[in-house]
Each structure stands twice: as structure tokens, then as C-alpha cells.
Amino acid sequence: MNRKKSPGSGAGGRNVWTIMKKEFARFFGDKKLVFTTLLLPGLLIYAVYSFMGEGITRQFSPDEENPPVIYGENMPASVQTILDQTSLPWQETQDAEAVKEEIREKTADLLLVFPEDFDRQVEAYQTSEEPAPEIQIFFNSSQSSSQSAYTQIRELLDQYETGLANKFDVNRSQETGEPFDLATKEDTTAQVFSMLLPLLLMVFLFSGCMAVVPESIAGEKERGTIATLLVTPVRRWELAVGKILSLSIIALLSGISSFAGTILSLPKLMGAAADSMSASVYGISEYLLLLGLVLSTVLVLTALMAIISSFAKSVKEAGTAVTPLMIVVMFLAITSMMGGGPAQDVLLYMIPLYNTVQSMVSIFSLQYSMVCVGVAIVSNLICSVLLAYVVTRLFSSEKVMFTR
């Protein structure tokens, strides 16, 4: 038997790159796929969050263009003065029942009914032995303008009542601009971002992987195209590594698109509170750490999904089989919202995926330790290598690859 030198020997890196190029060509050559996986998530998140933010802001702020229709019966001079200082227009009425009907029909927003000698009764009111004079406010909670007017009027009247019994003031000089909340922009940003963003980022990364991994592994199995690859000299580990790396990069791009959409829409989502927040409080080192962390996490997620997809006979089956993993990832992600800051024990940063959430919390809250985040990244990378080995074994298994 004659033996020849293997032409493919030493071509490991080249074959991995060849597989990666094919995966990129498959993905980036399909404009629809690029649009739905890379552009659409970011655009949709930006549009939805902006829309939500504007809706919330509108709900709680006065509508300058369409002021509420407010009526008052026996409006006392004291309250008239307060209302005249605001942008809330009002008019006197003598027919409360007719106005109530208008409020029911949503043609008027609010009716204030005062006792005839309200100001005198207030002045005479001394003790709690007799009932205090009552102001009746009629509104329609199903009408947003009416609800908004009610909230504003209620607030004004509460302030007036507090002012009547004024014994002391708290933080009065805040009106002149003296700051009492000593939290810096960094603190506010860190608090909000560390609660919200780890959860959102985990969701985006998982969705990014979900969009490409089952299709590339279970899809190729289902269509019989992976067998065509397995009959070439490409080694199983080259195939596994090529697929995991390329799919991770695509999933990462998808995650970055969603993340960018979130960051850009956050000022609109947070409304007025956004003035005290800025993503610029994070420096290049925080963003680099975050990138390393996200990349190592995507590798773990891609490899996990590759294993699940290898067992599936179709893309549909893979999609269903990935659900338990999704539940685990969501559960881990929610731990970021439980408060209490990031985990302190460095050993906890060795648990894949959980370490990602805790590291993100620590980075966003600017309380990170390089050791903990480093341990998390290294731990994720080691986990990815082990999972890639499992994928390699599965690609070598005829039972897994050829069972239909």
C-alpha cells in the first residue's frame, strides 16, 4: 500500500478561516437577513423606546398646545391667584351638573367645586374637632388630559395646604439653585445603567445568537449540506471553531446594533431624568472591558446553542430546544435588577453567564475590579473552548449528525 503526504496537513487555521468566510458570505450575502438581524433590531428598539419615552413624558406633562378644559364653582380668590400663576386656564361655572356631564362625555376635563366661603372657612379652621372645608374635584380617569389635569391641580392644592400650616421648610433654597441631591451624573448614570443594561444586553446577545446559530447548525443538518462538508478533509474541530467564531461575530454585531438602539433611545425613554445621565461617564477602559466581556459571553452562548442545535433535526426543533437555555439566561440576567451591587466573591466570577451579568453590573456601576472582570472573561473563554470541544465531538458522531 503506498502512502502519500497529506495535502491538508497544517491547514488548520486556513480551513477555520475558509469556514468562517463561507458563513460570512452566507450571512452578508443575504440582504434580507442582514436587515432583519443587524439593522432591524437596533432601529426597532430605538423607535419603540423613543415612542414609549415620549408617551410616558406626554402622560405626565402638561400639553401646551391643547390645554385642559377646567371649570370652577365658587372659585376662591386664593386659588384663583395660584391658578393664574400656572399655564392652566380655567373658567367659572354656575352649573356643576352640566359640567359633570361634559366631563363624562370627555368634552371637559375637570371641575373644581369649592364651598361658597372657602377662604373664610380655611382661615377659621383651627382644630381637627370639626371637619375641614372640602374641595371636590371631578375628573375622568379614562381621559389622559383629564387625568393629567387632576394630577396637576391636586399637586397645586396640596402645596397650598402645606403652605397654610407652614412651620418650617425643607430644602427651600433648592428653588434658588442650591443642590441638595449630591449624587453626581456618574452616580445617577451608574445606578440606572447598572440596573437596566445588563438585563437588556443579555437579552440582545441571546437574541443575536438565536437568529443565526440554529439556522447554521440544525439548518445545515436538515438540508443535508453539513454532510457535504463532513466528507471533505476539513477536520471536525476546524468546522466547529469556524462556525462558532463566525456565528459569534455575527451575533455580536446584532447585539451591538440592539445596544446602540438602546443607548440612543435612552434619553427619550428616561424623559427629564435623562438630563442627569450620560453614557459619556464611562471611559475607554470601561467600554473595552465591556467589549471583551460581551465577546466572551457570545462565544459561550453560541457554543451552547451549537450543541443544542447539533442534536436537533430541524431549525424548528432547535428553536424549541433552546427555550430552557433562554429561561436560564433570563433568570441570571434578572439578578442585575435585584440591587445590592455586584457580587464581591471572586469565585462567583468563574460561573459562566452569571459572571457576565455581575461583571456588567460592576462595570456599569463603576465599581468593577479588574481581577473579577478578568476572571469572568477568562472563565468564559475556557468554557467556550470546552464547549467547542463538545461541538467537535458531536460533529464526529454519526448518531448525532446523521440521525433523521
Summarize as ranges the residues that interact with another protein (CB under 8 A). Answer: 1-4, 6-8, 11, 14-15, 18, 22, 25-26, 29-30, 220, 223-225, 227-235, 398, 402
164: CB partners within 8 A, 6+ apart: 122
- Helix (H) and strand (E) counts for the chain? 16, 4
Pick the closer one to another protein by CB: 14 or 154: 14
Asked if 247 contacts 387 with a C-beta cutoff of 8 angstroms, the reply is no
Nearest distance from C-beta of residue 212 to another protein, angstroms = 14
Pick the closer one to another protein by CB: 78 or 314: 314
Pick the closer one to another protein by CB: 233 or 339: 233
Pick the closer one to another protein by CB: 30 or 101: 30
Cα separation, 129 vs 89, in Å, equals 36
Nearest distance from C-beta of residue 235 to another protein, angstroms = 6
Q: What is the layout of strands, in order, in the sheet containing 90-92?
A: 90-92, 70-73, 110-113, 136-139
**In 3D, which of 192, 375, 167 has the Cα closest to residue 271?**
192
Pick the closer one to another protein by CB: 236 or 268: 236
**In 3D, which of 236, 243, 213, 238 has the Cα closest to residue 397?**
236
Cα separation, 34 vs 67, in Å, equals 46
Nearest distance from C-beta of residue 388 to another protein, angstroms = 18
Pick the closer one to another protein by CB: 331 or 402: 402
Nearest distance from C-beta of residue 234 to another protein, angstroms = 5
Pick the closer one to another protein by CB: 31 or 167: 31
Nearest distance from C-beta of residue 216 to another protein, angstroms = 11
Q: Which three cell numbers stand for residue 171?
A: 430644602
Angle between helix 12-28 and helix 236-270 axes, rounded to 10 deg: 40
Cα separation, 99 vs 94, in Å, equals 9
Cα separation, 295 vs 393, in Å, equals 24
Nearest distance from C-beta of residue 3 to another protein, angstroms = 5
Q: Tell me which amino acid residue 379 is.
A: S
Cα separation, 80 vs 160, in Å, equals 12
Nearest distance from C-beta of residue 278 to another protein, angstroms = 43
**In 3D, which of 82, 75, 61 has the Cα closest to residue 160?**
82
The distance in angstroms from the start CA to the end CA of the chain is 37
Nearest distance from C-beta of residue 66 to another protein, angstroms = 53
Pick the closer one to another protein by CB: 11 or 281: 11
